[in-house]
Amino acid sequence: MYYEFQFGNLFLILGVIALSKWLEDKLISQHTRQWLVDTVLASFLFAMLLFLHTEVVTFKNIGSGAYSFDWTFLNIQLILYIFMAVTVRSSVGRGFLIGVGLLFYWERGFFSYWYSWPTLIAALAIAMVISHFGEQLLKHVWQIYLSAVVMCIPVWIAVGTATDGDQLGDWAVNFAIFSGQFILVNAFNVRLRRDYNRELMLTKQANFDDLTGIKNFRAFNNDLSQQYDEFKETQNQFILVMMDIDHFKAINDTYGHLVGNSVLKQTATALNELAKEADPDAYAYRVGGEEFGILLPVKPGDELWTRRLCQQIQTKIRQQRLMLPKTTINWTISIGCDYSSLKDEGCLEIYRRADKNLYHSKENGRDAITIQGTMMEG
């Protein structure tokens, strides 16, 4: 019955899950777009399932008595299929799920049996449901196990009706093996996800400001250094926009620190939205008490775009309102901006220039914009 292969399959799938999780973490840490992350993961898992299908074909060619290969490799294929469903939950993942299901039925010749078509439709429908609710199902072992068994039943029916060599006892033993394998694999997967979420939380605590929710000075310093290193290699220019809320101390002294905190949070949200509109991979940073920064790529010589961006920031903050019981307050922001330069010896030089431009705006009336030492009118 090829039971010895079940143990090898178990270690194989644990390795696949660990490798796919490492791959996902690596891509996310490099700020890879989500659709690309999903495509890479789905492609990797699809390749593994394709490899397993090749193994099945190899066993088919051994001889007419090798029927139990269906169970030998069916367990791991189904477990890996469910893992794909809960890991790649986007439209990319669902597309790959349908492809894997069709491949599975085609390889086993199920399409020649009319009664296999309803089982395929049922299995695909349940897989889509698992894909949609995967995060909730993974919170409890029994939920994901029952969902997996429900999805597997149509497939097992198709296998059972197309196979003549296995006895009822073989099915019982292999179902028990499937259950044990699934529970072990799921426990391993949940542990990996929990460890990852814990690391993600610690990373967020280290790189994000508790009050405003945007990136902090530590993250700003790291991202500025990385952006500068990439600029030196590729010469793809970027700008640094530094901003400071005008008369923030007066807001705190007049209305209290809770109102001041609300002003900071509202400003941070507005700036982060503008940064994302300019570039989906960009962030706003809180680099000091009431001081903020934005790093953005820019085309060489596109000064008009930079001026418009700074004006958008200025207008956006001017439009902010904070409703208080007896009054409504608004505020403005001073802006300093500069470009990366090949003459710079380090990333701190553009920081110094942008910061100098910021203070030029503050010293010359506030609610102003200074770009490369020149203050804009209006």
Please indicate whether residue 288 or residue 12 has the higher confidence score (pLDDT).
288
Domains and CATH numbers, the chain: 4-207 (no CATH), 217-375 (3.30.70.270)
**Measured CA distances, 197 to 191, 192, 194, 325 (Å):** 10, 9, 5, 40
Please indicate whether residue 34 or residue 64 has the higher confidence score (pLDDT).
34
Question: Has residue 316 got a pLDDT over 90?
Answer: yes
Residue 65 pLDDT: 44
Question: Has residue 350 got a pLDDT over 90?
Answer: yes
Q: Which residue has the tokens 């020649």?
A: 112
If one counts every other C-beta atom within 10 angstroms of the C-beta of residue 118, the result is: 12
Residue 11 pLDDT: 83
- For residue 276, what pLDDT band results from cuts at 50, 70 and 90? very high
Question: Has residue 127 got a pLDDT over 80?
Answer: yes
Whether the CB-CB separation of 105 and 120 falls below 8 Å is answered with: yes
Whether the CB-CB separation of 20 and 45 falls below 8 Å is answered with: yes
Residue by residue, DSSP assigns 318-372 as: HT--EE-SS-EE---EEEEEEE--TT-SSHHHHHHHHHHHHHHHHHTTSS-EEET
Whether the CB-CB separation of 305 and 249 falls below 8 Å is answered with: no
Residue 300 pLDDT: 64
Start-to-end C-alpha separation, the chain:
82
* Least confident segment among 42-51, 131-140, 310-319, 338-347: 131-140
